[in-house]
Structure formats: C-alpha cells, structure tokens
Structure 1
Amino acid sequence: MMAMSPAFAHESVELSAVEVRARAENLEGIAASGSEGVVSSQRLAAVPILRPGEALEMVPGLIVTQHAGDGKANQYFLRGFNLDHGTDFATYVGGVPVNMPTHAHGQGYTDLNFLIPELVERISFRKGPYFAEEGDFSSAGAAHIDYVRKIDSTLGQVTLGQNGYARSLLAGSPEVAGGHLLYGLELFHNDGPWQIEEHYRKINGVLRYSQGTPNDGFSLTGMAYRGRWTSTDQIAQRAISSGAVDRFGSLDPTTGGETYRYSLSGEWAKRREKAQSKVNVWWLKSDLDLWSNFQYCLNAGCPPGDQFKQAERRQAGGFAVSHAMFDRWGGFEVENSIGLQGRIDDLNPVGLYTTSARQTLGTVREDKVTQRSLGLWAQNEMRWTEWFRSVQGLRADTYDFTVNSNLAVNSGKASDQMVTPKLSLIFGPWRKTELYLNYGHGFHSNDARGTTIRVDPADGVTPVQAVKPLVRTKGYELGLRSELVPGWQSTVALWQLDSASELLFVGDAGTTEASRPSRRYGVEWTNLYVLSDWLALDADLAWSHARFRDHDPVAGDFIPGAVATTANIGLTLDHLGPWFGAVRLRYFGPRPLIEDNSVRSGASALTNLRIGYKFSRQTQLALDIYNLFDRKVNDIEYWYDSQLATEGAAVNDRHIHPTEPRSPRLTISHRF
C-alpha cells in the first residue's frame, strides 16, 4: 500500500550512496507491478548528469537525448516509444505537471531544464497503464519528482567546464515559524562544443515552505525559470560529408529559443490511524518562442529559407485530491482510495509563423485555445492472504476543447470521455520474491487544434481529417521481483502495450501527427547488487518490439524511432576513505528511421565517469567526464527530405545531431 510505504520515507543524508540504494529500491510487499520503483536523492547525486533532464535516465529503460539546443526540451525513448518530447510519459515536479498539452512544438512537451538535481528527494516511477491515479500521457510510464523539504546545512556549489560552462548553486533551509524554508538559486551559462556558440544562459530558483512530512503536513512551493539560447539543430548528413559544414556546425545560425516557466503549488496531507488525505493545487505561467529550420531551403527557397517560429503564451491551473481508508473486511486488510483531478489550460495565443533570422514574415496559423479536463478515479487494494493481494481500479476522464483560430473554418469545439479499468494481482512474497500480473487501459490526449481542424492552414483549402481528442491504450504485464542472493535485488517485466493511434515525427513541419494503430511488447531486466558498504553494481537492460498493427506491404510496418535495445550499467563506490566515484555506460540501440526499415540509425554507447575527494564533511571536489572515450556518435538521427542552398531540388537524407565530445567538469561543494 503506497501510502504506508517505508520506501518513501526520508533517508538520512549521512548514508552513503551505496547504502541508500540498498534501502530505497526494495519495494517488496509494497509495489503493485514489477516495473515501478523509487530513485533516492543519494543515488541521483552519485551519478554524473550532463543535462538536468537526464535525471530521468535513472528510470530503468528510459533514454534521454537532445536534437537541438540545450534550452529546448529533451527527446525521450522508452519501451519502444519515440516519446518525442514527452507524449506518452507523464512527469511531475513538486506536484506540478511538466507535460504541456496542445503545445506549440509538440504534444506533451516536457521541458525539465528548470530541475535542480541537488534538491531532488526522490523520483517515484511507474510504467504501464495499470495505475488509477495516473491519467493523461502516462501510458508508457510516469515519474513523480519531489524536492526535499529541508537540507542539513547551507550548500554552495560551483562547477566549471570547457566551452564557457559555468554553473553556481546556493541552497539552504533555515527553520522559520516551526517549519523549514527551502531555497535554491541556480545561475548557468554554456556555449557547448558548437561552432555557433550556444550561449545558453538561465536563471532558476525554487522556494518552499513546509511543515511536517509529505504524508502528514503541508508545503507551499514557488519555482521560477528563465532561459535563452542559440540552437544548432540536426544537420543533413550530406552537408557534413561534402565538407560544406562541420559536424558541430550549423546551417542556420539564428535558430534557438527563449522561454520562461513560473509556478506556485500547495500540498496538504493528513494521516490518521485509518485514513490518509491529500490535496494538491497548482498554477503555472509559461512562455516559449522557438525558432527552428529543419529543411533549410525546400519550401521558401534561400533567401529567406525555411525557418519558422513556434510560440505560445500559457496559463494553467489544476488540483488533485485523494482520500485513502485503511480497514478490515472480515479477516482481510483493505485499502480503498478515491481521487479527483482537474486541469485547465489557457493558451493566448499558440502559433506557427514563417521567419527569417528570427524576423517574422508571415502567420501559418494562430489560435486561442482553452482546454479543460476532469478525472475521477477509485481503487481498492485487498490482501486476501499473506501471499496474495489484488489492486483493482477504475478511472473516468472527460475533456473539453475550445479553439478560436485565425482561419475561422478551423475553429470549433470538441469533447471526449473515456473510462479505463485497471487490475493488478500480486503473489508473494516467498523467500523475498513476488510475482505480478497487470492489466490496464490508459490514454493520451491529442492536440486540441487537431480535433477541430478542417483545412490545411498553409493554403486554407486542402481538406484535413480531424483527430480524436482521446486515444486509448491497453497494456499487459507479467513481473517478478526478487532478492536472489543477499544484496542482489532483481526485477523482470514482460509487457505489451497497444495504442489506437500512433504519433509520428514529421520532418517538414517539425511536429507530430496522428497515425496508425500500433503494438509494442518487450522485456526489461533491472538489477542492483550491493556487494559491500562501499561498492554497488546496477544494470538496467531492455528489449522491445514495435510495429504498426494495420499491415501495409507498401509503406511498411516499422515505427520510426522505435528503439529495440537499451542498457544502462553503473558502478558506484563510496566510503573509500575520502574517495568516491561512479562510472556509467549507456547503450542506445539502432532504430528504424522509416516504415519499411530500409534506413536505420546507428547505435551509441557512451561512458560517463565521476571521481571525487572529500576534504572534510563540509567540502568535496568532484571531476565529471562525459563521453569518456570521446565516441563520435549521434544523439539523434532522422530521415526526411530537405534542400540545401546549393541544391535545386529536395533530397531525402539522414539528419543528425552529434553527441557532445569528451567534456570534463570540475565541481567544488561546500556546506556551511
């Protein structure tokens, strides 16, 4: 029963990363599936992370990449999904959703550049549509990231690296009026290895006042982030091969973006002897101007070129309330839970514009959108015997869209409802072993503009088929969790997920569109072996098979971007006198780039290293080396048509964004 889980209790910061890994990840008797878990703050702090979004790579099987400037949301891959920027993976920070529906760049856009990893207390993750509490965007999985309520002492930290990399962090949590006032301020600058300096700068902060614990107390949290950058987008491989541009060069030096995100949230929880109540309310305001150029000179010629701007101005708010009751029915332990969740997004406006050198030339479309959703869920967990329990849930969601477009024919209203059942059967534990059987339906919402569209906004004439507001998914899973030998925790999950409609990347627009139904299945094997109080090994291995379900012998049935194999293997050392360290290998397997599988991406294997020295309990020095062996591989690859300035017609080609070369960073931390 998650509300009573000791795995979610606060871990002492005096424990080593190795010790905390052993404690926080043992979910025996607690988890409802073999593919859910908890990543502790100490585990996260022990690994080198190139970008904030890579904190999610601690979720087994999840790969985080980047195909443009670092100020843009990452691209995510999990369970055979090219999740684009987050479409089927729900992410929350401090109770505030990160996914943005009806986003200017992509449905479910998940920008984690405001995350401060040093302040993360835990990442609680679930995969699959088996949990009544999880709603939109969560079919492949969900991650709930929460900040700490207090830290033991004031933290000052400075990191320096190549190419203008500089980051400073100041954080503390003094006692105020019977609670703690957590604050964190981050200043950041990076030019990156690109020939056109990225000049990414951000200012980022969090302020939280709290009393009590997450299960019996309250917190008020404010977060603010602002960033701007120049972007080196993916480049046509033929331009690199011909010498027209360097591998780290750019075909449009004016692409990039500016963004901000401000949020306020409040959480309240009350624990009684036989009940647990929780309330969460939140509000956010965000803004994005994103300039991109993926096809160079194909549509408009050069000059002016094919640069375009995607922009939005958004305010959103929502709430989540839940109540759990712990009881006995006859001789059976029972937990009954009910919850209500709501959200409203107001976009005024969200638009797509033709531009050149960031100067607007025309409007493709501009809309005002109001989107509302309400979800009601109920769940019953019953322990039938000492070795068998069940979790059965039901979720009902309703969505309402209002679109006012600059092209009147594309304006309108749409609504949809969906009921999604869930069931988990848990057998065990026997000799520290549990077996899980899971079944559930889930969904993701589509872009509101796609639900009312009638004609192509580019010409205002060509008919376009509107998409369904909600797309159903259905999943099955067989899981096993066991401690095979003392200190070795292992989970295996065999899963399948069907989707009624797929989302595909469309290179000529830089967006996604609804497409064919799909089926994915695979296996994940997650391992943690704590050999001693100073050494731990972990290995997350995943394989998946992804195909469209409606066979097309002409186009093909492969799903572009669907990765089949991934691996994340790490070694963590601590308590070696003053020394500590970690090394991680991440393997990102090849993917089909078009439906007939005639073009495939390459694979990549990257190694990151950390070596640290503790001068005292207050002061430590750490050297992180990313891409230790300087592998010349790609973060991302696409296949689509484009036209260079020297060409007279479109050319289908591979478009790549290279992995950053070997990059050392030195961090000094001091606690006051």
Structure 2
Amino acid sequence: MKSVRILLCLIFLASGTLGYAQTNMVQGTVLNAETNETLPGSNVYIKELEIGTSANALGSFRFEELNSGTYTMEVSFVGFAKRSVQVQVQSGTNQKLQIALQPSSIQMEDVVVTQNLDQNSNTISAVDIQFRPINTSQDVLKIVPGLFIAQHAGGGKAEQIFLRGFDIDHGTDIELNVDGMPVNMVSHAHGQGYSDLHFVIPETIEQVDFDKGPYYAKQGNFNTAGYANFFTKRRLSESMFKVEGGQFGTFRTVGLFNLLKAQKTEDPSLYLATEFFRTDGYFESPQYFNRFNSLLKYHQKLNDTQTLELSFSGFTSSWDASGQIPQRAVDNGTITRFGAIDDTEGGETSRINLNSKLTTELSNGGYFENQVYFSQYNFNLVSNFTFFLNDPVNGDQITQSENRQIFGSKNSYWVENMLFGLPASTEVGIGFRYDKNNDVRLSRTLQRSEVLSDLAFGNVQEANIFAFAEEQVDLTKKLSLIAGLRFDQFTFDYRDKLSNTYDRESVNKSTVSPKLQIGYQANSNLNLYMKSGIGFHSNDTRVVVAQQGQEILPQAYGIDVGAIWKPTENLLINAALWRLDLDQEFVYVGDEGIVEPSGKTQRQGIDLTVRYQITDWLYFNSDVNFTDPKALNTAEGEDYIPLAPTFTSIGGFNFNFDSGFSGSLRYRYLDDRAANEDNSLTAEGYFLLDATLGYEIGRFQLGLSVENITDTEWNEAQFETESRLRNEVNPTSEIHFTPGTPFQARLSLAVKF
C-alpha cells in the first residue's frame, strides 16, 4: 500500500502544477496538407531564440512568455517538406496557428535530434516506415529495429520473435498494442503472451511507436525487452485497390475505400479496409492458407475540443501445416527439406475488435484520452512435435484451443506545466483489462478430428488494474529528466474442469515498477541518454495457482546508456550499451500442460542503428545488435540460453526517383546460436537478401517483391526436440526445424481513386 500512496502523491503533485501564465503565447497545430490530419511529433523551432519543441500526441505545440517581436518559426516532420512561418508576437496576446505541411520524399536534413527522448525514437520510426517494405501482416513486426521473426506452423500461427538476446517465443517479453488495444494474450492455450498481429492490414499502418527496455511507465505487462505500439490511419487521402500474385499459389487483394472523405480537419471521415490472402506455401503438402481481414474506422471532431474515434476490425484464417521436422529424417532421405512427418497439423483462428477513443483538449493545452475496447477471440491449433515418442500407435498430435473475451479501458491526462519553476510535462493514467477465457484446452488428438484424451481443460479469468504517473522536467536547456512510477494489481482465477469436484482457485498479486530516464543535449546534433527501470511479465494463471502465488510476476531490471548523434545533415546514428536481468520464474508449458522452473538470466549487449541518405534518391539503413545472454546460478559451460540470438543485423538500400521508380535491396543476418544449455547443438544462422521494385505512373502503381533472391537454403525456426519416428525403437534428441522460404516472387498492381 505504501507504493500506492506514492503513486497517488505523484498524481496529486501533477494536478497541483497545471496552471501557469498564458501571456505572450503562440500555440498551434501541425497538419498533413493532404489528409488534414494532425502530425504528432512534428518539430517546431524558433530561429531567433534557438529554442524548439515537439508537437504533442494531438499535433499541438505552444511557446509561452515570448517577448514582443517578429519570429521565424521552422516546422518540420519526417516525410514532409519543411516550412517557415513568420509570427508577430504582441504583448498580452495568445496567437493560434494552423500549419499544414506538404508530403514529400524523406530528407534526412529534416530529422532533428531533440532533448525529448520519446521524440527521437519516433523520428527513427517515421523514417523506417517510409523505408521498410511491408508486404504481409507477418512483416509488420519487422519495423522494430533489430527484431527478427520466424514462422513455423503454416502461416496462421503467430510468429516466433527474437529481440535483444531473447527468444521471446510468441510475445512473452515484448508488449504489443494496436490502436491502444493489447495484442499479447495472457494465459493463452499455446503460450504466455501469445501475440497474433495478423488482424492488421499493413497498408493501414500510419505510425509505429517503439522502444527497447522496460523504461516507460505507460507500458505495462510484457514490457521487458521492449514494446511496439501500432497505429492505423485515422483518415485516407484517397481510395486504393491492389491485387498481388506470385509463386506457390499466392494471391492477395487489398482495398482501402474512402466512404466519407473529410475536406477539412473538423469534417467526419469514414473508411473501410479489406484484405484477402491465400497461399499453398512452398511445402510438399499444400498449406491451403486463407485469411480475410477488415477494418472500418470513423473519425470526427465533435466540437472545438473533442475528437471521437470508433473502429471495428476483425479477421479469420485457417491453414494446414507440415510442422517442424527432424534433421535425421532429411539426412537419411525419409523426407525432403520441404516434406512432413505429420501433415495433418494446422489450425483456425479469428478475432473481432471494437474500439472507441474520446480525446478532449483543455484550455491549458492539456488533454484527456478515454478509451474503451472489446475483443472476441477464438483459437484452435493442431501440432505434433514429438511424432511417436509418447504414443507409438496413434502418435503425439495435440490440439490447443480457447474461446476468449477481452474487456478493457485506458484513461490518461497529459499537460505541460511548471514544476518548481522548471518547464515540465505530466502524464497520469489509470485503466483495466479483464480476460474471460473459457474452455482453455490441451488435448491429445488423432488426425485432427478425434479427441483421444484431455491433458488440461479449464476456465481462466484474469484481471489487471493499473495506474501510472510520469513527469518530464527540463532541468536546464540541455538536461531533461523523465521519472515514472507504475502500479499493477492482478487477480488470477482458474477453474479446473477435469477435476471431479468443483475446483476453483484464485490469487491476487501486485507490483510496482519505477522508471528513470535522463537526456543531455550536448549540442544541436548530439543527445546523450541514460535509461533505467523495472518491468515485468505476468505468468500464466495456471502457473499462478500451481505456485500458490509465489514468483508469478517476475521482474526485469534494465539499464541503457547511449547516444543519438547526427554528425552530418544526412547521417543519423543511435548507439546504446545495455543490460537486462530477469528474475526467477515458473513457466506453464502449453504444449505439455506442465509447470517448469526457469532460472535467473542476464543479457547485456550493444545496439547500433544507422540511417544515412547517400544522395537525394539513395538511402542506407542498418541495425546491428551484439548480445551476451547467459543463465545465472548455473555451472559454466551449461549457462547458455537456448536459441538466444548473440549477433543480428538488418538493413539495406532504398532508392526513390522523381520519375516514379522506387525499390529496395535488404538483408537479414542471424548468427549461429546455442540450441541447448551446454551448446552441444547449434541453431544455424543465415544471411538473406530480399528486394522490391516499384513504378508509379499517374494513379497506377506496379510492384515486384522477391524474397531470398539468392535462393539460399536456410532454416527459419529451429528447436532441440526429443522425438521418435514410427519405425524407430529409441528416441533421438536433435535439431528439429522449419525450412525458410526459397526464392519467391510476387507481382502487384494498385490503382488509386
């Protein structure tokens, strides 16, 4: 309770520092000239005073207590032409401006290194969205610098994620949100934190807010290695229809339809986005993968101070899969690399989302955001990892399924203020998330249709109530500090439906997560920073009740020391030394229905991000990540963390000509890494090249994308697994893998109207 009182004191302190003088003020809003939508994060700089600020989440900015006179205000944003505005300030006045920027090709000279650490991260995000081609929903995660994904179950299963020396599985140590709605699934049938982003249509993504480490009070459960928040477009400037086709029976259509086009900022807008995707895949057994996505989004400024956003989205998909295969079966010629031991694997999944957000601007420049959301989610996954290890007659096929409803709300208040005479900004928030997960089931099945027995079957109810406060203070013109505190309260409830009696258990647990960031603006092109904080991820409810509430909210302790440097107007570098320690935890193994201990771990490394504009039309970008991951309290030589990446790099060249031609050549490199604790087995690394080429003429866009242009033989997902084949007497523990895509090309045609 002491921690709760501290948090309430912070909130009270914030509310007591809201008002201050509003004389000789210039305030305004920065807009996209084509869509009339605001541009949060825009840079606004007054040349004569050599001071600047960033537009807030509403695209608004303000300068206070200016002396009378004429000032030149430079406004810039990545991907838009810079604009200069003359402003005449008179004593006792409050001027309101509306500044529209025209979209243009990215010019690195417009990228500004600021004292605001959040703004620096979002600048890199804005550059990357322009540069990194996104062809499918699976590519959405690749926007995050240094993040790798692996698909190993027919295209419909959520991707395996690698980041900062973590094999995150499907989302255990990265928090993911879309338009404020959580993607991570707590107490999921397959694995804790399971994150399926396939309901996002790539062409609708407008902004990505991401960062690494557990340093952000607004981010909660699963924010240990990092977080990524995806935001879909609020408005469309025009409608579009695209059709794609390629090898292996691949076909995709996308439609973005402007149902109610806004002519002015205050006009309502409504658009519909749809996507259909199908492919047989490159395996010998066709995947028959089908997915349909839709998004309906409404946006309206209700009055001078309130904006309403409503959306409905959903997707459904089904697929067959060949699963992971043992290396020995390929070596002895039983199957090829693209063959299968059990090709009756596969699944079906669907999700429907309802989301609403009301934003209220206040006269003091602050704003409230009130969000309510609901999701209906269904999941059914059929797998076979060990083949005939446990059941020599019927095989070891398992089916995991669940039927979930998610109810949630997020409410926050942000304002600029003065704290002890220093410029500051405050954000406070409260909210909740409630998961009602019925019939969470793990069954032994035969041929995907017959249930042989249930290994686990029950109902999960999990609630998370949270509150946070974060204060950013400019201690000097060069030195800023961000201090935050977050409180999370969990209720875990499980009813075991396999018990002969009514068996229901419930546990409550809370945690407090302090955060601290310091930024020093050494000069206009160099920002030095230090970040530290504690994050956590919750354990599966079935772990919680099995452990009687002990060690169920394992914490992560992190620190980053780094710099964002722009040595020339066309070169941007972000470098960081970091370390992250995780507490002991117990893990619910969804594939077996058992609880296993997982000891303390430590990861430390170096991250390097480079963005370089070589010429007006040629760009280079690269992310390089070195990590030393190790298990603690373990004998030397047996302290490897299975599948933890140690060296990764992603990058490439992008070009964009005024004649309409554009394209990219990108690489992905993942080094060899330990597949088990003593490194006696190695998960092989790979180096891949992908390319895109596009041509735009009038309202038409032609495109060609090629994956693995060198047709490299590589393994996408790899695990050490003990298995037995039908004709084997004894089991074998070795690498099991899913082969990566061979050379694969797609053509696309899009028309705007």
TM-score norm. by structure 1 comes to 0.93
**1:506 CA drift (Å):** 6.4
Match of 1:581 among 663, 680, 701: 663
**1:29 CA drift (Å):** 2.5
Task: Provide, for residues 67-86 of structure 1, a one-character-per-residue CA deviation record: whole Å limited to 9, x for no partner.
Answer: 22100000000010000001
- What is the alpha-carbon distance in structure 2 between the residues aligned to residue 632 and residue 510 of structure 1? 34
Read off the aligned partner of 2:164 and give its amino acid letter: R
Read off the aligned partner of 2:716 and give its amino acid letter: D
SS at match of 2:410: strand
In structure 2, the residue matched to 1:165 is 250
- What is the alpha-carbon distance in structure 1 between the residues aligned to residue 118 and residue 242 of structure 2? 39
In structure 1, the residue matched to 2:354 is 264
- What is the alpha-carbon distance in structure 1 between the residues aligned to residue 119 and residue 508 of structure 2? 32
**1:469 CA drift (Å):** 2.5
Counterparts of residues 285-296 of structure 1 (less than 5 Å): 285-296=376-387
In structure 2, the residue matched to 1:634 is 715
Match of 2:534 among 409, 418, 441: 441
Task: Provide, for residues 625-649 of structure 1, a one-character-per-residue CA deviation record: whole Å limited to 9, x for no partner.
Answer: 0011111011111112100011012
- What is the alpha-carbon distance in structure 2 between the residues aligned to residue 542 and residue 570 of structure 1? 15
In structure 1, the residue matched to 2:292 is 203
Task: Provide, for residues 264-318 of structure 1, a one-character-per-residue CA deviation record: whole Å limited to 9, x for no partner.
Answer: 00112223343121111110000001000000000111x3100000000000111
In structure 1, the residue matched to 2:643 is 561
Task: Provide, for residues 300-357 of structure 1, a one-character-per-residue CA deviation record: whole Å limited to 9, x for no partner.
Answer: 11x3100000000000111111112211235410112211121000011111000011
Residues 112 and 17 of structure 1: is their aligned pair in 2 closer, same or farther, counting only changes over 3 Å? Answer: farther
- What is the alpha-carbon distance in structure 2 between the residues aligned to residue 49 and residue 195 of structure 1? 27
**1:423 CA drift (Å):** 0.6
Counterparts of residues 179-258 of structure 1 (less than 5 Å): 179-212=268-301, 217-258=307-348
Residues 637 and 98 of structure 1: is their aligned pair in 2 closer, same or farther, counting only changes over 3 Å? Answer: same
Match of 2:495 among 404, 409, 428: 404
In structure 2, the residue matched to 1:535 is 618
2:631 is aligned with 1:545: no
For the 8 Å contact 1:7–1:26, the answer to whether it is kept is no
- What is the alpha-carbon distance in structure 2 between the residues aligned to residue 505 and residue 601 of structure 1? 24
**1:442 CA drift (Å):** 0.7
- What is the alpha-carbon distance in structure 2 between the residues aligned to residue 439 and residue 404 of structure 1? 39
Read off the aligned partner of 1:549 and give its amino acid letter: L
**1:664 CA drift (Å):** 0.3
Say which is worse superposed, 83-92 or 325-334, in terms of deviation: 325-334
- What is the alpha-carbon distance in structure 1 between the residues aligned to residue 607 and residue 586 of structure 2? 23
Residues 510 and 587 of structure 1: is their aligned pair in 2 closer, same or farther, counting only changes over 3 Å? Answer: farther
SS at match of 1:449: helix
Counterparts of residues 431-470 of structure 1 (less than 5 Å): 431-453=524-546, 468-470=551-553
- What is the alpha-carbon distance in structure 2 between the residues aligned to residue 513 and residue 485 of structure 1? 52
**1:15 CA drift (Å):** 3.9
- What is the alpha-carbon distance in structure 2 between the residues aligned to residue 389 and residue 636 of structure 1? 43
Higher relative contact order (CA 8 A, sep 6+): 1
In structure 1, the residue matched to 2:49 is none
Match of 1:650 among 712, 731, 738: 731
Match of 1:116 among 201, 208, 225: 201
For the 8 Å contact 1:349–1:366, the answer to whether it is kept is yes
Match of 2:673 among 573, 580, 591: 591
For the 8 Å contact 2:113–2:525, the answer to whether it is kept is no
SS at match of 1:173: strand
In structure 2, the residue matched to 1:309 is 399
Residues 619 and 216 of structure 1: is their aligned pair in 2 closer, same or farther, counting only changes over 3 Å? Answer: farther
Task: Provide, for residues 114-137 of structure 1, a one-character-per-residue CA deviation record: whole Å limited to 9, x for no partner.
Answer: 111111001110211111111001
In structure 2, the residue matched to 1:457 is none
- What is the alpha-carbon distance in structure 1 between the residues aligned to residue 586 and residue 112 of structure 2? 35
Match of 2:125 among 31, 34, 39: 39
Read off the aligned partner of 1:61 and give its amino acid letter: G
Read off the aligned partner of 1:196 and give its amino acid letter: S
**1:431 CA drift (Å):** 3.2
Task: Provide, for residues 564-593 of structure 1, a one-character-per-residue CA deviation record: whole Å limited to 9, x for no partner.
Answer: 111011211112412111111011122211
Match of 1:478 among 539, 561, 571: 561
For the 8 Å contact 2:354–2:373, the answer to whether it is kept is yes
Match of 1:383 among 459, 474, 485: 474
Match of 1:430 among 523, 530, 534: 523
Task: Provide, for residues 491-546 of structure 1, a one-character-per-residue CA deviation record: whole Å limited to 9, x for no partner.
Answer: 11111111003677969739984410111111100011123331111111111111
In structure 2, the residue matched to 1:282 is 373
In structure 2, the residue matched to 1:353 is 443
Residues 373 and 85 of structure 1: is their aligned pair in 2 closer, same or farther, counting only changes over 3 Å? Answer: same
Residues 518 and 72 of structure 1: is their aligned pair in 2 closer, same or farther, counting only changes over 3 Å? Answer: same
Read off the aligned partner of 1:473 and give its amino acid letter: A
SS at match of 2:185: coil
- What is the alpha-carbon distance in structure 2 between the residues aligned to residue 150 and residue 597 of structure 1? 51
- What is the alpha-carbon distance in structure 2 between the residues aligned to residue 46 and residue 549 of structure 1? 39
- What is the alpha-carbon distance in structure 1 between the residues aligned to residue 606 and residue 306 of structure 2? 38
| Percent identity over paired residues | 31
Say which is worse superposed, 9-18 or 336-345, in terms of deviation: 9-18
2:216 is aligned with 1:131: yes
**1:44 CA drift (Å):** 3.3
Read off the aligned partner of 1:550 and give its amino acid letter: N
Read off the aligned partner of 1:586 and give its amino acid letter: R
- What is the alpha-carbon distance in structure 1 between the residues aligned to residue 658 and residue 513 of structure 2? 51
Residues 37 and 80 of structure 1: is their aligned pair in 2 closer, same or farther, counting only changes over 3 Å? Answer: farther
Read off the aligned partner of 1:354 and give its amino acid letter: R
Number of residues of Structure 1 aligned to a counterpart in Structure 2: 656
**1:411 CA drift (Å):** 3.9
For the 8 Å contact 2:543–2:595, the answer to whether it is kept is no
Read off the aligned partner of 1:527 and give its amino acid letter: V
2:153 is aligned with 1:71: no
**1:17 CA drift (Å):** 5.3
Residues 138 and 566 of structure 1: is their aligned pair in 2 closer, same or farther, counting only changes over 3 Å? Answer: same
For the 8 Å contact 2:681–2:734, the answer to whether it is kept is no
2:593 is aligned with 1:497: no
